[in-house]
Chain A
Amino acid sequence: MNNAILQINELKTYFFTRLGVVKAVDGVSFDLRKGECLCLVGESGCGKTATALSILRLVDSPPGRIMGGAVMYHGEDLLQSTGARLRQIRGNRIAMIFQDPQSSLNPVFTVGDQIMEPIRLHLKLGQRPARERALSLMAQVGIPQAKERMKYYPHQFSGGMKQRAMIAAALSCDPEILIADEPTTALDTTIKAQILDIFRDLKQQKDMSILFITHDLGTVAGIADRIIVMYGGRIAEAGSVLDIFDRPKHPYTWGLLNCLPTISERREKMTPIPGVIPSLIDPPQGCIFYPRCQWHMPVCQEKRPEEFVISGEHIVACYLHK
């Protein structure tokens, strides 16, 4: 099947809170192909992070629970794997990078120690070879004076440097898949561009598959091959970069694109999407987006739209395109 190395099928992750069941991920399916960068885009709380965490079964339980679906990796369903098998895959075959570099490193160990941790864990290398590997990784992600900086503690690193260190740790075992959960959100613009360059290099040189999660379409444009727009725990629209940017079909995508500043068009002001995401505890019966949608029709209120194929891989969940 068109060289997909990770297939997510009807994934459902619910959070059981005191107020009710939050359906954070409610039947999401997509493929991640070899050597591509797939972007998950959406507002906060639309289920991007829950999707990413569910792939490696990192959802905190309780309150979270993966209620159904499958995550197929080389013919193996990660949702059914044993804990030991999962630990072999985490960090080794599928690695993950988190949003906030400030708190992603353990403050009581040196940065070098922490980059070496997965190397020693998975590759079973000794102290010295592990150190050398860590050094070359740090150089690769652009940490200057790596030898000196290995001995630094996280508080001696800047935010950008910490994120580079996290990327180095994630890359340490040459994973096939890299899941990056808003890796640039906490960084300022120049650093952001540099970090994005690292991802671009990884994709091109190592043929790595990247699942890139962000709420910022602007970030996506530069590195994505395909984009999935999520809303309310479901996929609203999916397609190639050109599909999404040039031929967007879902009203929510239109709204997102209207929020972007552009250089080419002279736009008086950016138009935000009116309203807020409805509570996922008790979502509206039909399309989750319809309360905010200017184009909604009677049918939107009654039944959830299925995913309609526009062309090839461009799909959209909206009755406008039935």
Chain B
Amino acid sequence: MAIRRISDIFGGRRHLLFSGLLLVLLFVFLLDLLVIDHIFGPFVYFYLFFTLLIIFYGIYPLYVNRRLTRYYWERTKRHRLAVIGLSFIIFLVAVAILGPFLTQDPTEVDFPNKNLPPVGFSAEQAIYDRNTGNFITTETPGTWHHPLGTDDKGRDMLAMLVSGTRISLQVGLMATLIAIFIGLIMGVVSAYLGGWADNALMRFTDIMMTFPFFLLLVFIVFIFGPSLWFIILAIGLTGWTGTARLVRSEALSLRTRDFIMASKSLGASDRRIVFRHLIPNVLSSVIVIATLSIPGVILAEAALSFIGLGDPTVTSWGLVLHAGQRSLDTAWWIAVEPGIMLFLTVLAFNFLGDGIRDAFDPRSQV
């Protein structure tokens, strides 16, 4: 009886189980943080949380509604580019999870092997000759030991790119999740309450929007220091404005729909209407905007790293780019390789986002 009441409050058994697991996770996290002293970093807990979220609210419903899943898959599949983008993202995720275990340490320097070109290329290098005391120019070919070459300190490019993949996806997912969460709450609350509350929230959103986003980012990082966590928080806390506006406008049009009135006439409370009727109905747009905002976030982090405001302790693509621009004329691959990765990743998320948007949009009967 008691369990049923609680499960009713959480809107069903699935939510109850999810909330329970979340509590356990939070407990272990706090235990780790305060008592056992950091066995795993906060990222590990975030991943567990994210995995739970995906299983409970992504995979499980997709599995239960197989017919609907197939329908959406059919529609997404019509976009060749979206499928290619999705495959590339899955590949990136696999690299981010498994890669660091398979490659060398990306921070290990090896000066004798510096500036090695990728396999299949060769580069002129000035090498100091101990016998004559002169620099001699030699043609160094790339080796399979460093398939993507090395940078000016002899660090393995492949290892650095793999590490960068992990950082970029971390930043992309987490900052977007934070931004989406704030934007969703702001938008729905603003639309549902209306009146002066709506005005206050939306004017605040406008003010946030008028700030030059990147300058604000630089400012926050400057104050709080260049740690990856602060960068993620900073991007998340500044990037929610677009979502808030979109969600508000969607929720406003939903609010006048009859089923909201019908639900009220059947005795539903405000909380119930927001959680059961407004939020589920705006989620499809939110998923699309989330997918489309990930590349922007990844680029923002890369840009921060590039101008030297990134976390110097993690090897991100922006950092490698930054290091590579100095030796662009002698060792082009150092800057080009992370550049290509950024380019492909951003493109992949954009393609996927477009595909999902068309699949979710019932009006686009392609």
C-alpha spacing A292/B267, complex, angstroms: 41
A283 at the interface (CB under 8 A from B): no
Selecting from B99-107, B174-182, B230-238, B256-264, the interface stretch reads B256-264
Measured CB to CB, the nearest residue on chain B to A108 is B280
Cβ < 8 Å to B, chain A residues 137-171: 166, 169-170
CB atoms of A106 and B267 under 8 A apart:
no
Evaluate whether A90 and B259 lie within 8 angstroms (CB atoms) in the complex, with A106-B281, A120-B8 already known: no
Evaluate whether A62 and B195 lie within 8 angstroms (CB atoms) in the complex, with A103-B258, A126-B4 already known: yes
C-alpha spacing A56/B4, complex, angstroms: 30
Chain B proximity of A65: nearest CB distance (Å): 13
CB atoms of B258 and A104 under 8 A apart:
yes
CB atoms of B267 and A118 under 8 A apart:
yes
B interface residue count range (under 10 / 10 to 19 / 20 to 34 / 35 or more): 20 to 34
A54 at the interface (CB under 8 A from B): no
Cβ < 8 Å to B, chain A residues 37-62: 56, 58, 62
A304 at the interface (CB under 8 A from B): no
Instruction: Find chain B residues with CB under 8 A from A105 CB.
Output: 259, 262
C-alpha spacing A105/B272, complex, angstroms: 15
Measured CB to CB, the nearest residue on chain A to B254 is A106
C-alpha spacing A96/B267, complex, angstroms: 10
Q: Select one of B4, B194, B266 contacting A90, CB under 8 A.
A: B266
C-alpha spacing A91/B195, complex, angstroms: 27
Cβ < 8 Å to B, chain A residues 98-149: 98-100, 103-109, 117-118, 120-122, 126-127
CB atoms of B281 and A90 under 8 A apart:
no
CB atoms of B261 and A58 under 8 A apart:
yes
CB atoms of B259 and A104 under 8 A apart:
yes
Q: Which of B8, B194, B261, B267 has the most CB of A within 10 A?
A: B267
B66 at the interface (CB under 8 A from A): no
CB atoms of A98 and B261 under 8 A apart:
yes
CB atoms of B263 and A117 under 8 A apart:
yes
C-alpha spacing A240/B42, complex, angstroms: 74
B79 at the interface (CB under 8 A from A): no
CB atoms of A106 and B276 under 8 A apart:
yes
Chain A proximity of B272: nearest CB distance (Å): 8
CB atoms of B258 and A90 under 8 A apart:
no
A204 at the interface (CB under 8 A from B): no
Measured CB to CB, the nearest residue on chain A to B272 is A121
CB atoms of A96 and B262 under 8 A apart:
yes
B114 at the interface (CB under 8 A from A): no
C-alpha spacing A99/B195, complex, angstroms: 27
Instruction: Find chain A residues with CB under 8 A from B263 CB.
Output: 106, 117
Q: Which of B258, B276, B277 has the most CB of A within 10 A?
A: B258
Given pairs A103-B258, A108-B280, 14 additional interface contacts (CB within 8 A): A62-B194, A90-B267, A91-B268, A92-B267, A95-B266, A100-B258, A104-B259, A105-B262, A107-B259, A108-B281, A109-B276, A109-B280, A118-B267, A169-B262
Chain A residues in the interface with B (C-beta under 8 A): 56, 58, 62, 87-92, 95-96, 98-100, 103-109, 117-118, 120-122, 126-127, 166, 169-170
A-B contact pairs, 22 of them (CB 8 A): A58-B264, A62-B195, A87-B269, A88-B267, A89-B267, A90-B266, A91-B267, A91-B268, A95-B265, A95-B266, A96-B262, A96-B266, A98-B262, A103-B259, A105-B259, A107-B259, A108-B281, A117-B266, A117-B276, A121-B266, A121-B268, A122-B267
The 10 closest A-B pairs by CB, nearest first: A91-B266, A91-B267, A96-B265, A90-B267, A103-B258, A118-B266, A104-B258, A104-B262, A108-B280, A106-B259
